[in-house]
C-alpha cells in the first residue's frame, strides 16, 4: 500500500515536535527547513498522482468502531491542489517572519506547523467526524497565534473570531450527526455513505443551512464576514497569511466536498439565493475596499470580494466555474500572502500602513516595486497572471448560469482595479524620495518570498493547464455525482 499521503499529512506534526527541540535562536530556521522537506514530500505526491484515477491513496482505519467513526483519508485532484497550496505557502509564511521580533519563537513556529497539520487533515479527511475534528483543531493554533502575538486589541477581536467560527462549527457538527443518524442501520460517518443518502426536501434544506453556516463564516460570505477585517488586521502577519491564504479555503473546500454532493436537491433549490449573497458580498466588499485608508484592511476587504466570487462560482454547478473556483483558490492564496507580506514590509519599515502617509517608495526600491506590481496585476486579473485564469473561468461559468449575476460579479474586476491601482499609486508612486535609512533594503529572506510569490503569479498565469488538468477530472466526477441525483 502506498503511504505517501499519510506521510505528507503527518509530517507537519513530526516537524512540530522536532522544531521544539533546538535552541530558541534556531527555531525559525529549523521550522523552515522542516516545512521545505514537507514541500518536497508533497511534490513527490504530486508527481505520483494520476488525475484520471479519481480518489487515490485511500486508507481507512477504524478509530471508534462502535460509533462508525474511522480514520479515513484520501485525495483527488481538488484535495491534492489544496495540499500543494498549503505546503507551498507554509514555508513562505515561516520565511516571511524572519527578521521580525517574535517573542517565544519556539511556540510560535510550533503553532504554525500544528496549523498546517490540521489544515492538511481537513483537505484529506473522508470521514465526517474526522473532518470535523481537523476543522476544529485548525481553530486552536490560529486562536493562540492571534492572541499571543497579535495587535493591541487582540483579546476582544480574537474572542469574537473564535466564537463566530465556533458557532458555525457546532452547527456543522449538528448536521453531521444528523446525516450520521440517517445512514443505514450500523451508522457511519463515511463520506460515501453520506453521498448515497436519499433525503427528503426539508431534510436537505436543514442540512444545507446548518452546514452552509459553518462554511460561510469561515470563507467568509456576506453577511457573516464581520469578524474578518478586524481579525486580519489585528493578527500578526503570519497569522493573517494562514487565515487568508489557506484557512478560508477550508470553507470553500467544505462546500465542494461535503455540502454540494450530499444535498444536491437543496443546492438546486437555494443555490440562487446563496449566490445572490455571495455576489452582494463581492460588490459590498469592493466598495468598502475603495475607501479604506489602511492598506492591510484594504487587502482584507479585497479578500472578501475575491472569495465571494469563488463561492458564487461553486454554486453554479457547472464545470467551468467549478474549475475556475479551484484554480482561483490557489491564486488567491498566493496573492493574498504576497499582499499581506507587502503590508508587513511597509509596517516594519515605515511604521505605518496609512495610504495617505506613504508614497515614493518606487524611487529607491525597484525590486520591491516590481514584485508589488506583479502581485497587484495578478490580483486584478490581468491576462497572463494567475488571477486572470481563475476569474475568467468563474465569470464564464456564472454567465452561463445567470446573466445578471455575472454582470454584478464582473464588477469585482472593475472595482478591483480601482482599489488596487489606487493603493499602488498612493504607496509606491509620488515624488517623495526615501533614503536607505527610512526604508532599509530588503533582506534576503524578504526578497526570496517576494520573488517566489511574483514567480508563482506569472507561472500559474502562463501554464495554468498543469493545475487545471489535475483538477479537471475530479471536478467532473464531483459534478456528475451532484447532477446525477
Q: Does 181 bind other proteins (CB under 8 A)?
A: yes
Q: Does 65 bind other proteins (CB under 8 A)?
A: yes
Stretch that binds other proteins, among 160-168, 233-241, 348-356, 414-422 (CB under 8 A): 160-168
Cell triple for 280: 452582494
Q: Does 33 bind other proteins (CB under 8 A)?
A: no
64 has which bridge partners? 69
Q: Does 66 bind other proteins (CB under 8 A)?
A: yes
CA–CA separation, 75 and 197 (whole Å):
22
- For residue 452, the surrounding DSSP H or E stretch is helix 444-462
**Single residue of 7, 136, 270, 283 touching other proteins by CB under 8 A:** 136
Residues 6+ apart with CB under 8 A from 392: 324, 381
Stretch that binds other proteins, among 45-53, 132-140, 260-268, 338-346 (CB under 8 A): 132-140
Cell triple for 227: 469578524
CA nearest to 294, candidates 427, 413, 425, 416: 427
**Single residue of 6, 26, 148, 434 touching other proteins by CB under 8 A:** 148
Q: Does 17 bind other proteins (CB under 8 A)?
A: no
How near is the Cβ of 140 to other proteins at its closest, in Å? 7
CA nearest to 305, candidates 329, 278, 323, 273: 278
Nearer to other proteins, 81 or 176 (CB): 176
Sign, Cα dihedral of 150, 116, 80, 447: positive
DSSP 206-264: HHHHHHHHHHHHHTTPTTS-TTHHHHHHHS-HHHHHIIIIIIHHHHHHHIIIIITTTSH
How near is the Cβ of 324 to other proteins at its closest, in Å? 34
**Single residue of 137, 280, 369, 370 touching other proteins by CB under 8 A:** 137
**Single residue of 117, 132, 258, 341 touching other proteins by CB under 8 A:** 132
**Single residue of 167, 183, 445, 448 touching other proteins by CB under 8 A:** 167
Residue 272 has, within 13 A of its CA and on its CB side, a CA count of 8
Cell triple for 340: 499581506
How near is the Cβ of 257 to other proteins at its closest, in Å? 19
CA–CA separation, 225 and 218 (whole Å):
8
Backbone angles phi, psi at 294, to 5 degrees: -85, 125
Q: Does 170 bind other proteins (CB under 8 A)?
A: yes
CB 44 within 8 A of CB 93: no
**Single residue of 45, 93, 173, 406 touching other proteins by CB under 8 A:** 173
Rg (CA), the chain: 21
Per rule CB under 8 A, count of chain residues that contact other proteins: 27
**Single residue of 17, 21, 67, 444 touching other proteins by CB under 8 A:** 67
CA–CA separation, 340 and 180 (whole Å):
40
Stretch that binds other proteins, among 9-17, 158-166, 212-220, 402-410 (CB under 8 A): 158-166
CA–CA separation, 335 and 210 (whole Å):
31
Q: Does 177 bind other proteins (CB under 8 A)?
A: yes
Stretch that binds other proteins, among 137-145, 189-197, 317-325, 358-366 (CB under 8 A): 137-145
Nearer to other proteins, 37 or 147 (CB): 147
Q: Does 197 bind other proteins (CB under 8 A)?
A: no
How near is the Cβ of 125 to other proteins at its closest, in Å? 13
**Single residue of 20, 33, 174, 265 touching other proteins by CB under 8 A:** 174
CA–CA separation, 89 and 449 (whole Å):
10
CA–CA separation, 154 and 215 (whole Å):
24
Nearer to other proteins, 58 or 171 (CB): 171
Which DSSP category does 365 fall into? Answer: -
Stretch that binds other proteins, among 20-28, 65-73, 222-230, 299-307 (CB under 8 A): 65-73
CB 96 within 8 A of CB 344: yes
Stretch that binds other proteins, among 1-9, 119-127, 162-170, 446-454 (CB under 8 A): 162-170
Q: Does 182 bind other proteins (CB under 8 A)?
A: no
Nearer to other proteins, 138 or 471 (CB): 138
Residues in contact with other proteins by CB under 8 A are: 64-67, 132-133, 136-137, 139-140, 144, 147-148, 155, 159, 162-163, 166-167, 170-171, 173-174, 177-178, 180-181
Amino acid at each position: 500500500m502506498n503511504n505517501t499521503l499519510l506521510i505528507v499529512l503527518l509530517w507537519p506534526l513530526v516537524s512540530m515536535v522536532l522544531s521544539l527541540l533546538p535552541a530558541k535562536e534556531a527555531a525559525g530556521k529549523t521550522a523552515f527547513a522542516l516545512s521545505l522537506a514537507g514541500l518536497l514530500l508533497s511534490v513527490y505526491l504530486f508527481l505520483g498522482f494520476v488525475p484520471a484515477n479519481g480518489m487515490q491513496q485511500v486508507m481507512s482505519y477504524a478509530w471508534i468502531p462502535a460509533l462508525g467513526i474511522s480514520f479515513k483519508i484520501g485525495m483527488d485532484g481538488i484535495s491534492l491542489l489544496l495540499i500543494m497550496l498549503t505546503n507551498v505557502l507554509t514555508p513562505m509564511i515561516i520565511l516571511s517572519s524572519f527578521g521580525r521580533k517574535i517573542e517565544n519563537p519556539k511556540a510560535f513556529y510550533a503553532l504554525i506547523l500544528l496549523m498546517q497539520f490540521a489544515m492538511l487533515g481537513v483537505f484529506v479527511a473522508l470521514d465526517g467526524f474526522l473532518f470535523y475534528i481537523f476543522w476544529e483543531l485548525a481553530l486552536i493554533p490560529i486562536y493562540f497565534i492571534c492572541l499571543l502575538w497579535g495587535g493591541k486589541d487582540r483579546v476582544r477581536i480574537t474572542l469574537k473570531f473564535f466564537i463566530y467560527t465556533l458557532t458555525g462549527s457546532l452547527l456543522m457538527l449538528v448536521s453531521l450527526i444528523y446525516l450520521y443518524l440517517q445512514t443505514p442501520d450500523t451508522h457511519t460517518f463515511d463520506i460515501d455513505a453520506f453521498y448515497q443518502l436519499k433525503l427528503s426536501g426539508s431534510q436537505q434544506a436543514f442540512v444545507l443551512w446548518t452546514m452552509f453556516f459553518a462554511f460561510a463564516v469561515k470563507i467568509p460570505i456576506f453577511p457573516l464576514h464581520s469578524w474578518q477585517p478586524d481579525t486580519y488586521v489585528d493578527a500578526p502577519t503570519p497569522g493573517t497569511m494562514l487565515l487568508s491564504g489557506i484557512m478560508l479555503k477550508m470553507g470553500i473546500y467544505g462546500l465542494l466536498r461535503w455540502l454540494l454532493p450530499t444535498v444536491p436537491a437543496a443546492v438546486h433549490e437555494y443555490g440562487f439565493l446563496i449566490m445572490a449573497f455571495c455576489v452582494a458580498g463581492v460588490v459590498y466588499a469592493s466598495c468598502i475596499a475603495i475607501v479604506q485608508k489602511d492598506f492591510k484592511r484594504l487587502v482584507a476587504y479585497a479578500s472578501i470580494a475575491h472569495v465571494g466570487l469563488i463561492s458564487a462560482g461553486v454554486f453554479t454547478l457547472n464545470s467551468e466555474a467549478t474549475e475556475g473556483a479551484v484554480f482561483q483558490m490557489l491564486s488567491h492564496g498566493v496573492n493574498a500572502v504576497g499582499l499581506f507580506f507587502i503590508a508587513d514590509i511597509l509596517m516594519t519599515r515605515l511604521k505605518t500602513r496609512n495610504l495617505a502617509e506613504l508614497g515614493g517608495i518606487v524611487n529607491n526600491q525597484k525590486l520591491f516595486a516590481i514584485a508589488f506590481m506583479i502581485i497587484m496585476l495578478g490580483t486584478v486579473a490581468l491576462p497572463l497572471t494567475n488571477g486572470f485564469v481563475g476569474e475568467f473561468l468563474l465569470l464564464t461559468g456564472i454567465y452561463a448560469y445567470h446573466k445578471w449575476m455575472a454582470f454584478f460579479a464582473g464588477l469585482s474586476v472593475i472595482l478591483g482595479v480601482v482599489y488596487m491601482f489606487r493603493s499602488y499609486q498612493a504607496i509606491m508612486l509620488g515624488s517623495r524620495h526615501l533614503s536607505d535609512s527610512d526604508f532599509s533594503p530588503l533582506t534576503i529572506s524578504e526578497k526570496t518570498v517576494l520573488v517566489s510569490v511574483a514567480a508563482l503569479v506569472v507561472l500559474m498565469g502562463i501554464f495554468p493547464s498543469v493545475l487545471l488538468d489535475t483538477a479537471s477530472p475530479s471536478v467532473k466526477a464531483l459534478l456528475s455525482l451532484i447532477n446525477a441525483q
